[in-house]
Chains A and B, each alone.
Chain A
Amino acid sequence: MFEELTGRMEGIVRNLRGQGKLTEKNIDESLRQVRRALLEADVNFKVARTFIDTVKVKALGQGVLRNLSPGQQMVGIVHQELISLMGEEAVEVAIAESPPTIVMLAGLQGSGKTTATGKLAHHFLGAGHRPILAAADVYRPAAVKQLQVLGEQLEVPVVALGDSRSPLAICKVAVDRAGREDRDVVILDTAGRLHVDEEMMEELRGIRGAVHPHEILLVVDGMTGQDAVNVAEAFDQDLDIDGCILTKMDGDARGGAALSIRQITRKPIKFVGVGEKLDALEVFHPERMASRILGMGDVVSLVERAQAAIDVEEARKLETKLRKQTFDLEDFRSQLQQLGKMGSMQELVEMMPGVNKKALKGMDMDERALVRMDAILSSMTRHERARPVVINGSRRRRIARGSGTSVQEVNQLLKQYNMMQKMMKQLNRPGALEQLGQKMLPFR
């Protein structure tokens, strides 16, 4: 998408070269592409419009055309503006000066509140705190039980008084017990509710008025569409929330709701849920989110992941080879094996910059692709790997047989290797990183 977006904008601006002047109309045209990208990422229609207005002012001020790559610069401005809107830096949950710190979670049905309660408890435990949880959803079947199970897993007490006591009473008891049992963080799990349900919203206001949470977090499903603004606005108006938790971001949602919520409430997104397990909670990084909304791939995460998995010595050797262009199939193979260590193919691909996820959908995305490629490489002789040019037709047939694949697949792999080599030569060009990301993927 990022590639697509940059490409589209390059196309528009290219025509203007030589005209020497960037008109408002030309900028408008490229901003229409940005707007479309935002809408496809679920950024609210009106939020997108306001955002585009801001970017337009900036772009006009910067004289885009004088730059060598105006399309990229344009995306750069958009990206930067997104980051600044998103809040520049990660914001943590503040610990109250006098304990206990009371955190209340609220949100629509099924957004991930109960899971987030468990995840936050896990997070606080890790930081040396002693949390206690309040099961204040007395409505949904087995909601209390669900939190109790999580509490058992974490070995953290859960206050559950049965369905006959009011959520308010349950929250009060939890806060009291925290004082008596030396628990320094209280997390209140409330029932899912619609922002238009007056009675249920009143219940939350009541809890807020009685226990005065230090932190009220709105839990929002990361896949939410245009409605995110209505939800965020209503919860913020009623409860004056302190921030949000954006859940289910382990999938392929672009998460434009994050931008909408920021715009409307001006409150930070504090955490991102990235899985069902209790450790699948990450601190929110505005920069990464901005990239994701634009479809730029999570470059930072990818690099971090790579750093953790790839051994430094190995990486240095690889780099030298890349420079000297002596990168052969032997290196390709060890690189694939490194890739295998970095995590699931699926996750990696999602983080890759320049990967058009829509195009990926129809492709063979399964983890076995890596295994098959490894099989092909293993079926080559050492000599063949060192000097891939010798791999002629009959060798290809032999390799295919030996690896249980087809000649086509062998060809495909060799083609990828060739493309990669070409890419290496251009590594110093701007934008090469994104393209490399694309070409390196085994199923492209």
Chain B
Amino acid sequence: MLGVVRRLRDGLAKTRDGFARRIQQAVGRYDRIDEDLLEEIESILLQTDVGVETTLRIIDGLRDRAVDRRTRNPDDLMDLLREEMADILGDAPAPASDQRPRVIMIVGVNGSGKTTTAGKMAARYAGEGKKVLIAAADTFRAAAIDQLEVWARRAEADFIRHQHGSDPSAVVYDAMQAATARDADVVIIDTAGRLHTRDNLMEELKKIKRTTGKQMDGAPHEVLLVLDGTTGQNALSQARVFSEALGGLTGIALTKLDGTARGGIVFAIGVHLGIPVRFIGVGEGIEDLQEFDAPAFVDALFN
């Protein structure tokens, strides 16, 4: 048994080596693109949470591209792969709107990084000279309001809060009123973490969304799903259910990519649901939010 464990450990140590290097190595071992080489790429993708089905799809796409370009040269493989995968993610400009304020709703499962992302986004908008207002619509989790308040202060944003345990829609109502009165440019709504399987909590979220819509036609302008980058296949389920409940998501913020997780599940989400990634979180600091760049993301996947 010990032997098995050791073998496994050794194997895993290799996982952490650069994917690019592994592909390069794989490429080096083959003198043409063939099924064995594709299988190696398949195993690499599976280890970044891309998922079985989406991985097979990417491999098929890769094979087609190689045929189209009439290339069997392994050296071209990385480029083809980059194209194939970047295509799945596409590039996603934020939904256009010249309404003021721009209302952004942040949703997601527990602990994914919503509050932190809300804080970072507020700071980003404030840095552009915009007047930002943050609404504390997580009235459930212990000290969630206090946590967001710290972020509001850091971002120098206005902050609307009610008491712990109060109706989140009421907070949002007040925030919308205040935003108009104070002539805010952006309203960011931080909501409580909830598992997508909890129907009543999803209803609560729908109500929050309706509340913004009643205050202002066209709001919310963005509904951003915050996904923990270490999440596996369940993220697809999360994206699907949140999207269905809220009549679509405008984008994803993929967090915690400063660790060793690669967040490959966003490819499955791209293929199945077409929801674009807007931001990536790369740390706990206020600056650690980056605009998503598909080709760079794909490159990082293999580095």
A contacts, CB < 8 Å to B: 36, 39-42, 44-47, 50, 54, 108-112, 139-143, 145-150, 153, 194-196, 221, 223-231, 233, 248, 250-254, 256-257, 263-264, 266, 276, 344, 346, 350, 361, 365-367
Contacts and interface: CB of A to CB of B under 8 A. Distances in A.
Contacts of A44: 12, 47
Interface in B139-168: 140-144, 146-147, 149-151
A223 B231 CA distance: 5
A227 B237 contact: no
A196 B232 contact: no
Given A231-B260, A276-B141, 12 more contacts: A39-B51, A143-B143, A146-B142, A146-B146, A221-B230, A223-B232, A225-B232, A227-B49, A227-B262, A248-B109, A346-B197, A366-B199
**Which of B5, B46, B259 gathers the greatest number of chain A CB atoms within 10 Å?**
B259
Contact of A42 (B11, B144, B234): B234
Contact of A195 (B146, B195, B232, B259): B259
Interface of B: 4-5, 7-9, 11-12, 15-16, 43, 46-49, 51-52, 109-113, 140-144, 146-147, 149-151, 193, 195-199, 228, 230-235, 237, 240-241, 256, 258-262, 265, 284
Given A46-B12, A252-B237, A145 B258 contact: no
Given A40-B52, A108-B259, A139-B284, A361 B47 contact: no
Given A251-B197, A346-B199, A46 B8 contact: yes
Contacts of B241: 361
A250 B199 CA distance: 13
A224 B150 contact: no
A41 B51 CA distance: 10
Q: Which 4 pairs between the two chains have the least Cβ-Cβ distance?
A: A225-B232, A110-B111, A141-B150, A42-B232
Contacts of B240: 361
A141 B109 contact: no
B230 A227 contact: yes
A140 B46 contact: no
Contact of A252 (B110, B197, B199, B259): B197
Contact of B232 (A54, A109, A194, A256): A256
A150 B141 CA distance: 10
A39 B113 CA distance: 25
B197 A263 contact: no
B52 A227 contact: no
Given A46-B11, A142-B150, A248-B110, A196 B259 contact: yes
Contacts of A42: 49, 232-234
**Which of B7, B198, B240, B265 gathers the greatest number of chain A CB atoms within 10 Å?**
B198
Contacts of A145: 142-143, 146-147
B248 to A, nearest CB: 16
Nearest to A194: B259
Contacts of B233: 40-42, 225, 254
A97 B41 CA distance: 53
A226 B195 CA distance: 20
Contacts of A150: 142
Contact of B52 (A36, A256, A264, A346): A36
Contact of A230 (B15, B142, B193): B15
**Which of B47, B195, B232 gathers the greatest number of chain A CB atoms within 10 Å?**
B232
Given A50-B8, A142-B146, A221-B228, A252 B261 contact: no
30 contacts: A36-B52, A39-B51, A45-B43, A46-B12, A109-B256, A110-B256, A141-B146, A141-B147, A145-B142, A146-B143, A149-B142, A195-B260, A196-B259, A221-B228, A223-B109, A223-B228, A225-B49, A225-B233, A226-B48, A230-B260, A248-B109, A248-B195, A252-B196, A252-B237, A254-B233, A254-B234, A264-B9, A266-B5, A344-B199, A361-B240
Nearest to B112: A110
Contacts of B49: 42, 225-227
A229 B265 CA distance: 17
B8 A224 contact: no
**Which of A39, A256, A366 gathers the greatest number of chain B CB atoms within 10 Å?**
A39
Nearest to A153: B142
Contact of A250 (B12, B195, B228): B195
A50 B109 contact: no
A251 B232 CA distance: 13
Contact of B147 (A39, A146, A230, A344): A146
A252 B234 contact: yes
A225 B7 contact: no
A139 B147 CA distance: 11
B143 A142 contact: yes
Contacts of A228: 230
Contacts of B141: 146, 276
B109 A251 contact: yes
B111 A221 contact: yes
A41 B142 CA distance: 31
